[in-house]
Amino acid sequence: MERNNNSSEEKRINELRKKKIQNFHLDIDQDDLAVGERYRELENIEEDFSEDINSYSGDDVREQMRRDTRNYLREEKRERKKQQKYIDRQNRRRFRIIWWVSVALAGILLGSFCLIGVNDMMALSRPDEKKVTVSIPENPTFDDVSAALRSKGVIKEEMFFGLYATLTKNRDSFTQGTYQMKTNMDYEAIINYLQSMSNRTDTIKVTITEGMSVVEIANLLVKKDVLPDTKGFLELCNSDYFDEDYSFIRSIKNPGKRYYKLEGYLFPDTYECYHNEDPKLTITRMLNDFETRIFTDQNVQGYSKAQNIRKLVKNSKYTFNKVLTMASIIQAEAADSDDMYYISSILHNRLDADVSYGVQKLGLDSTKYYPYRSKKAVPKSIRKSFKSKYNTYKLNGLPPGPICNPGTEAILAVLYPEETDYLYFCHDKKGKPYYASNLWQQNYNLSLIGE
């Protein structure tokens, strides 16, 4: 019943509101009094209408306001999202443009770099052929090498050359030297050229004469500016460093009894060496020459018996090391090549003689102070007390190893001795030889030469 009353009341209020609104109109042509009355009437209508609404639906209006507020906030949130999406789209668009422009620029720069680098790598940017001298310093870094090449116009792009050397694993393969190079060589040709020691132009010719000892060779190499000092060279000459590569070195049975293991194997010849080179290279060059000249199957030239030395030694009654030791003594003692074959005969005879002859001790002056040439050459600090373990005045038979580096002639003299019964020899001051079959004849010869 109460609900019906509320409904009829609501209708009545609505009809009253409509009626008041219909009766109200604003006539701007009336005088000010009429207008004022009309406004006052409108204010009364609004007051009555507000009172009617407040008294009838306050809770509903507040609820409606909350709903309107929520809707407004939702709409505002949607608008903000739309605006943010629009901003994001704009930002993404700008980012894509900037990114593609950056990629394009990077591509252009990279392409230019690669084009310049490839042109330099293939020597396309250096078409003119010029010969220049490039000097690589001692113990060079890769930067030293590339800077030297660039300064002479052999390369233009140090960075690209470094990249190429890194990719091909060649950054650490350069050594000191002076080279005559062309300016239109590609990178591969440049690296190969610098890696070959034979292309160096800073060569130093060194002649190792027959009969020079290891110590004398070392001193000569220092004097010729091939080596900075003798230490490294002499240490290598008494090491096992070369055993793996050379069977004739590996076959040495008594290295501990020798002063220098490689004595006798540094073949006398003229070599082209380099300034301040690695002593390993110097020794390898000499051992290779020895192997080619002495220890291979090539025939000995200039001799009617066309057999190579290795076969000759194999057919003899001595080991190769003993043959080389005898050859070194012959080289050190003989006055000339003819004398070599007579001294060889004397050595053979004494080594083969019965103990009753009393010639087991060879008594050779060349062995008395080895590894020094004479007593005067022995350092003063040890001269008085020095006793050589090679001294054939003290030991029986041959010394532990060669006393110098003999030539081919001395080795052949060991293999082809003269057939004599001599057991002694001596030389006068001019080098003239005297031979004797017994001690009486030897003493007579010594008296002739004033000894």
> Minimum mean pLDDT among 146-160, 289-303, 361-375: which range?
289-303
Instruction: Report percent pLDDT > 90 for the chain.
Output: 47
Question: For 189-208, what is the mean pLDDT?
Answer: 88
Q: Are 241 and 233 a contacting pair, CB within 8 Å?
A: no
- Rounded (10°) angle between helices 320-333 and 408-415: 110
Query: Measuring CA to CA, which residue among 264, 254, 253 is closest to residue 414?
Result: 264
Cis peptide before 379 (omega within 30 of 0): no
Give the Cβ contact number of residue 245 at 10 Å.
12
- Tell me if 396 sits within 8 A of 361, measured CB to CB: yes
Q: What is the pLDDT of residues 155-177, one digit of tens each?
A: 888 888 888 888 888 888 888 88
136 DSSP β-pair partners? 177
How far apart CA 385 and CA 379 sit, in angstroms, is 11
Could you give the CA distance from residue 242 to residue 279 in angstroms, rounded to a whole number?
Answer: 12
Contact yes or no for 200/178 (Cβ under 8 A): yes
Domain boundaries, the chain: 2-119, 131-199, 203-293, 309-448
47-86: burial string, b at 16+ Cβ within 10 Å, e else: eeeeebeeeeeeeeeeeeeeeeeeeeeeeeeeeeeeeeee
Residue with tokens 């490839």: 118
Q: Per-residue pLDDT averaged across 418-431, rounded?
A: 94
Confirm if 413 and 402 have CB atoms less than 8 A apart.
no
Residue range 36-87, pLDDT digits in tens: 555 455 455 545 544 544 444 567 767 777 777 777 777 777 878 777 877 8
Q: List Cβ neighbours of 154 (8 Å cut-off, separation of 6 or more).
A: 126, 132, 134, 181, 182, 183, 185, 190
Token pair in block for residue 447? 């008296």
Q: Which residues contact 397 (CB under 8 A, 6 or more apart)?
A: 351, 360, 362
Q: Is the pLDDT of residue 33 over 80?
A: no
Tens of pLDDT, residues 315-347: 888 889 999 999 999 999 999 999 999 999 999
> What is the CATH number that goes with domain 131-199?
3.30.1490.480
Average pLDDT of every residue of the chain: 83
**Mean pLDDT (whole number) for 6-28:** 59
Report the range of poorest mean pLDDT among 66-70, 240-244, 305-309: 305-309
CA 170 to CA 183: how far, in whole Å? 20
What is the C-alpha separation between 105 and 125, in angstroms, rounded?
Answer: 24
- List, in sequence order, every beta strand (DSSP E) within 160-265: 177-182, 203-207
Distance CA 403, CA 368 (A): 10
SS3 433: strand
Give 180's strand partners: 133
Residue 123 or 410, more confident: 410
pTM: 0.67
Backbone angles phi, psi at 400, to 5 degrees: -60, -20
163 or 406, higher pLDDT: 406
Using alpha carbons, list the distances in angstroms from residue 449 to 184, 200, 253, 312, 435.
Answer: 70, 52, 40, 37, 12
